[in-house]
A and B are shown apart, each in its own frame.
Chain A
Amino acid sequence: MPDGIAFKLVTPAQVVFDGSATLVIAVTTEGEEGILPKHAPFLAALKPGILRANVVKDGASSRLELATSEGFMQALPDRVTVLVDEALAFDDVVVAEARERLAAATDRQKEAAAGSEAYAREQAVIDFANAQLRLTGHR
C-alpha cells in the first residue's frame, strides 16, 4: 500500500470525507488536476465537475466519485483540502431535480448577456447539473 495523504472534503453543511487518499483528481478552472502525495504547495479554484479520488478506508483502497459545485482545492505535501458548496455522491443525486435545474439555468442563461456575471453564474449551475447527470450515467 503506497503512502497516502490526508484528504479532506468539506462543505459548509458537513465534512464529506476525512481520511487518507493516494490520488485526488479535481476539475480546476484550468482543467483536471491530479494530486499525488508530496505535491508542491498548490491552491486552485475549482469549477463544477466530478471529483475523483483513490481513498484508503479501513486498510482497503476504494474509489470516491462525487459531483461537486464550485470551490477550491489546497494541496500541501502531506494533505489535500477541497472546499466546495455541495458535493453529491451517486446516491445523493436526484436526477429529475438535476434535469430541472439544468433546463431552468439554460433558459435563464439565454436571457443574460454572454460574459456577464449572471451568465457565468448560470454556467456554474449548468456545469454542476451536468456533472451530477454524468456521475449517474444519465449523459
Chain B
Amino acid sequence: MPSVRDLRDRIRSLKNTQQITKAMKQVAAAKIRRAEEARKRARPYADALAEMLADLMAAVSTVDHPFMKPGNESAPAGIVLMSADKGLAGAFNSNVIHAAEVFARGRSAVAYYTVGIKARNAVRRMGFSDRPTWPLGATSKVATAREVAERVAVDFVNGTISEVVVVSQKLVSMMSQRPETLKLVPFQISLSASEPFDSAQDKLRERSAAESKGAVEFSPSPEFVLSRLLPKYLEFTLYSAMLETDAAFFAAQLVAMTNATDNASKLIDELTIAMNNARQAAITKELLEIVGGAEALGVE
C-alpha cells in the first residue's frame, strides 16, 4: 500500500497536469473561434469562384486544359496529406494519416505531398524521406496553398503523378471530425459532394436549369480564362482544406483536453480518498500501539 506521502505527491503532479490541460482547452476554444471566422470569410470567395467556373463550363464546349484530361496512368498517384503541426488532439493526426494509407493501398504507387509537421513525420516514417512538405501554421496560408498547388500542378502536367488527391480532416461538428479523401485533378465537375464543391454544384445546377442568361463574353478568350481559373480553383480548394484542418484540429484538441481534464479530476478524487484512508489507517495504527503499549505497562 502506497504511503500518504507517495499519494500526496501523485495528487500534486496530477493537479499540475490538470492545470496545463485546462489551459490548453481554453486556448483551443479561443482558437477554434478564430479558425471558424477565417473559414466564414473565405466563403464568399468560394461562391464567386464556383459561379465563374460554372459560367465558363457552360460556355466552353470542349475543354483543352491539362487539368481536364486524364493524367499519366503509369505514374504514381499524388496525395496531398494534411495534418496539424502539433499533437495533443486525440487521434486527430493519426486518423487522417491512416486514411491516406488506406487510399494508398488502392494504388500501385503513391507520391506524398505533406502539409503539417505531423504528416511530414508520418510520411518520413513510411520511408519517403525527401517528399515536398509545408507547415500548416505558416504566416500566410494563402501563400502556402499557392506553393502546394503550383507544385502538384507542375508534377501533374509533367506526368510525374497521375492524379491529385487531397486527404484532410473535415469538421463534421464541434464534437467530431472525419478524414476525407478528395480527388482534385483531373478535374471533374460532378465528382464530389463536399465543401466548397457543394456550392459549385448547386450553382452548376442552377445555371444549367436557367441557361437563359445568354452568351457571356470572355476576355481574352474562354480558354485563357479557364486556364487561369482552374489552377486558382485548385489553389483555393487547398487553402480551404487548410482552413478546415485548422478548425478541425482545434475542435479535436478541445475535446481531447476536456477529456484529459475530466480524467485528471476523477483520478485526483480517487487518490484523495485513498490518501485519506491511508492517513486514517496510520492514525488508527498509532492509537492502537499507544493503547496496546499502555496496557502492557499496566497503567491504570
Q: Do A and B come from one complex?
A: yes
Residues on A facing B (Cβ under 8 Å): 8, 10-15, 18, 28-30, 33, 40-45, 70, 72, 74, 76, 81, 83, 85
Cβ–Cβ < 8 Å partners of A70 in chain B: 228
Choose from A13, A33, A41 the contact partner of B216 (Cβ within 8 Å): A41
Chain A positions within 8 Å of B216 at CB level: 41-43
Min Cβ gap A18→B in Å is 8
Interface centre among A14, A30, A43 (most CB of B within 10 A): A43
Q: Which of B42, B55, B218, B220 contacts A12 (CB 8 A)?
A: B42
The residues of A that contact B213 with a CB separation of less than 8 Å are 41, 76
* Whole-angstrom distance between the Cβ of A74 and the nearest chain B Cβ: 5
- B182 interface hit (Cβ, 8 Å): no
Interface residue ranges, B against A (CB under 8 Å): 38, 41-42, 44-45, 48-49, 51-52, 55-56, 142, 146, 213-220, 224-225, 228-229, 232, 236, 239
A9 → chain B closest CB, angstroms: 10
Q: A10-B45, A72-B229 are in contact. Are A43 and B142 (CB under 8 A)?
A: no
Beyond A28-B219, A41-B213, A43-B225, whether A8 also contacts B51 by CB under 8 A is: no
The residues of A that contact B146 with a CB separation of less than 8 Å are: 85
Contacting residue for A8 out of B38, B42, B44, CB 8 A: B44
Contact A83 B52 (CB under 8 A): yes
Cα(A44)–Cα(B175), bound, Å: 42
**Cα distance, A72 to B245, chains bound together (Å):** 27
Q: Could you write out 14 A-B pairs with CB less than 8 Å apart?
A: A8-B48, A10-B44, A10-B45, A12-B45, A13-B42, A13-B142, A14-B41, A29-B219, A30-B219, A43-B55, A45-B219, A74-B48, A74-B55, A85-B142
Contacts of B239 on A, CB cut-off 8 Å? Answer: 12
